[in-house]
Chain A
Amino acid sequence: MTQSIVVQVGQCGNQIGCRFWDLALREHASTNKSGTFDEPLSSFFRNVDARYSEPLDIPVGRGRDKICNLKARAVLVDMEEGVVSEILKGPLGDVFDHRQLITDVSGCGNNWAVGHMMYGSMYREQISEAIRRTAEMCDCLQCFFTLHSMGGGTGSGVGTFILNLLEEEYPEVYRFTTAVYPSAEDDVITSPYNSVLAMHQLTEHADCVLPIENQSLVDIFNMVNQAASKTSKISSTSKVKGGSTVTSDTGGIKGQEKPFDKMNNIVANLLLNLTSSSRFEGALNVDLNEITMNLVPFPKLHYLVSSLSPLYHLADVSLPLRKLDQMFSDAFTKEYQLISADPRHSLYLACALMVRGNVAVSDIRRNIDRLKPSLQFIHWNQEGWKTGLCSVPPVGQPYSLLALANNSCIRHTFTNLRDRFHKLYKRKAHLHHYTNVDGMEAAQFSQALESLTGLVKEYEQLEGTMGRVHEGAPRLQVAS
């Protein structure tokens, strides 16, 4: 079994990470009743004997040893103390090793350059040491997950700095990034700058990026709430069941749940489903490296549109239950995407369906055949489907689906971002805040913009082939 390390950076990254660990623990608790430290647990957690001042790592062994103290394979980085110290005070505090935290007090002031250049070089040794320590505890390290936002300073700046560091020091280990993109009405004025600068780094150095948009999370959240209130009108007892994607029951959160927590739950669920089949058994296991292998046809086009379904599950059985086929259809509708994009009307380069729970291989096959006519696939990849099946369902749900698509619709998100960047950049607004930082040059803005434009153009070109009739490439001729 391979292991993964989560690197959560900035306020957003740490909040998402916190939800992820909470849900992951709950998921393992429900499948692992005996309380032993087994292989699935070891992929994201360590078992330590905390009686020693240098906690002793207890290996999985034969998977029969009891859990002593679980520690997350995580590195927490923030340039402010608030969020991290709040996590440590909360019920999840014990899961994190205090040596895996790196914090500062002053924050990055929503400035990518401060995060990337200043704090990056300042904390380089410390970060590298923390990651090395975590990596050394792994038997076979396969993947880094970095979680951060794109709009702020710490997440985008330090986050992408760490990404480069990882590439340099662990070139063989895969780098997955979950990046939260700012909404159009964002309270941070410089967020377009930060996002475009960070995207340049993601395009160059990540193996796979899962962009998430704040606005889409809000929409999904509202949609689920509406569904909940609608059903409560019909019968006062029925509610959206506890195990839905946005609600989280009680657990890791102390006191009142904040609205952000619910949105972060969605992202945490995405990560859970993404890693489920590398954690648990299944008829069709999908390892994380298979995701990049199958979904990234060209090195830079590694941005995947993701959607989760079902988003909620009704407790009252008398109401029409979401049927299995509906789950597959939903995953391809606009409302269920975690970025505001409509993959149905754009070109698919490849698509992965990661199914969990009591679903047969033939169910997946049937649904692919059903959905295929309504989707456009690129001419050289008409059968671009990757399927995964994990036998352990998410907590409280019979089955679930995560659809990952490499789809040209993502370029709309990028062009929007570029337009907002332009608005600021043509007036050179706020530019001096960036160029004042040591190591930051004005040329980096134009380079980042160029990289983004290139990316958009690549998607546009591929989308341009849509609808045309394609003759197969002339085959090699054999001299007879």
Chain B
Amino acid sequence: MSLVTVQLGQCGNQIGGQLFNTVVEDAYGKGGLGCTKKENTLYQDAVLERFFNTEEPSGETRVSCSQQALPTARAVMVDMEPKVIQQTIQESKKSGKWRYCEKAQFCQKRGSGNNWAHGYGHHGPKARDAVMDIVQREVEKCDRFGGFLSLMSLAGGTGSGVGAYLTECLREEYPHSFLVNQIVWPYGTGEVIVQNFNAALTLSHLYQSADAIIVFENDNLHKICSQLLSIKNISFQDINSVISQELASVLQPAASGDCSRTNSPGELLERLVPDPQYKLLNVRTIPHTSERALAFSSFTWPGLLKHLRQMLIANAGMEEGVDWQVKVHSRDRRLSSADFISSLANVLFLRGKHCESTDISPFSDPRLYSSWVPRDAACSVFRQQRPFHHYEKYASLLSNSQAPVGPLDSLVGKAWNMFASRAYVHQYLKYGIAEEDFLDSFATLEQVISNYSNL
């Protein structure tokens, strides 16, 4: 099964580069020591099939250049400025383990200037044909095509605007393929003033076209960097590497409980998105520790899972500072205190030794889920005996829950306030977005909020 990654805008390209790095580092890194040689080879082959194209370009002799033998990422890079793409390619060359395909880039000279409408209404349509060609080439290289993974931010203009437009194009051209969008939620006080408008417009458009949206919050990642990884001056690179690690822990090969399935996008979506009205996913992982500190810590599976479950119900982004007071009540008592997060579906990924014998019943507790969720569909698990990176045991939880409602609600609130004064709206009208489009977006998002709140 192969995934084609679409990297959109500055943020998307930076995360993409980091993601492929993480994936390769994991496949060829320390994790291989924790399992048999055969298992390791199988794992590496699966990783390569998923993310990389290893076939030699026809007509070229293999000996001629060692670079030709490097696996090429199954990625399409799109940005409206050449700078970041060039930088990302440079960095991939430095790794020496993989590279980008030379013809899979699309860029223009001029950015979208934080204006979603400029990206969606101007750059997007202009880029469509060229990008779709590149995408088709990448898809045709796959033996078994599993779906698209689009990486983008919500705040900027290119990632969000062009990204929303191209996702719609992908949906049109590949109506039966799986589309998963990974988005980065901007900081509460961000670096772009119109970020709430951009985010609201993007989300509402993605909600129509993507199959699932995996949300990463910058604020949360920032906390992980500062408190758990104790990084002093946090750069975007640090944040991106946390994103890639969490994302990789979900996407790297793993097998379902009865070993009949792998974690392909199709399988994940089948388990996680039972209803098209609910498609906001988020990832929680445990543990986050720097490699140095890891030597001094030991983890047990029950301990990790207990933590992870509390993180889920108390809506904590990381293992430190989890509110242990939050308890799951049976449904009849919920009227009094509805403070725990209710989920629709959870998929648990366990990577490391002895993961097959771990009891995951705490996650199957029906009280965690909305009343209409069938008991056996609520929680599923994928396992991989081979350790992830340098972690002896690593658990991640991909869930469809109420967690994104809080940030979404505050984002829509702020954007609506600004819209009520019609501030900045003229900048969007310039590029063919009407006030009705804003209203439609707000209506879509209010519907999403209300759906999730009523779980």
Contacts and interface: CB of A to CB of B under 8 A. Distances in A.
A142 interface: yes
Contacts of B447: 478
A284 B191 contact: yes
A361 B447 CA distance: 36
Contacts of B449: 478
Nearest to B232: A362
B189 A360 contact: no
Contact of B114 (A1, A283, A294, A299): A294
Given A368-B189, A386-B191, A386-B193, A142 B110 contact: yes
Contact of B443 (A292, A297, A476): A476
A441 interface: no
A363 B235 CA distance: 11
A476 B442 contact: yes
Contacts of B419: 473
Contacts of A284: 191
Contacts of A480: 450, 454
A383 B423 contact: no
B450 A381 contact: no
Interface in A284-315: 284-285, 287-290, 292-299
A287 B111 contact: yes
A381 B192 CA distance: 11
A332 to B, nearest CB: 17
Interface string B437-455: 0010011001101100010
A478 B115 CA distance: 28
B174 interface: no
Interface residues of A, number: 46
A472 B419 CA distance: 11
Contacts of A365: 189
Interface string B122-154: 000000000000000000000000000000000
A381 B416 contact: no
A139 interface: yes
Contacts of A418: none
B410 to A, nearest CB: 11
Nearest to B415: A380
A215 B391 CA distance: 64
Interface residues of B, number: 43
A379 B417 contact: yes
B37 interface: no
B193 A295 contact: yes
B338 interface: no
Interface in A456-475: 472-473, 475
A150 to B, nearest CB: 25
B110 A380 contact: no
A289 B193 CA distance: 13
A2 B450 contact: no
B233 to A, nearest CB: 4
Contact of A475 (B233, B424, B446): B446
Given A294-B114, A475-B413, A475-B446, A380 B193 contact: no
B189 A385 contact: yes
B426 interface: yes
Given A285-B83, A293-B114, A360-B235, A380 B189 contact: no
A384 interface: yes
A227 interface: no
A350 interface: yes
Contacts of A139: 109
Interface string B84-126: 0000000000000000000000000111011100000000000
Interface string B44-85: 000000000000000000000000000000000000011100
A140 interface: yes
Contact of A297 (B110, B235, B423): B423
A337 B157 CA distance: 31
Interface in A350-386: 350, 360-363, 365, 368, 379-386
A139 B83 CA distance: 15
Interface of B: 81-83, 109-111, 113-115, 157, 188-194, 233-236, 412-414, 416-424, 426-427, 439, 442-443, 446-447, 449-450, 454
11 contacts: A1-B109, A289-B114, A294-B114, A294-B192, A349-B423, A362-B233, A363-B233, A385-B191, A472-B417, A473-B416, A475-B416
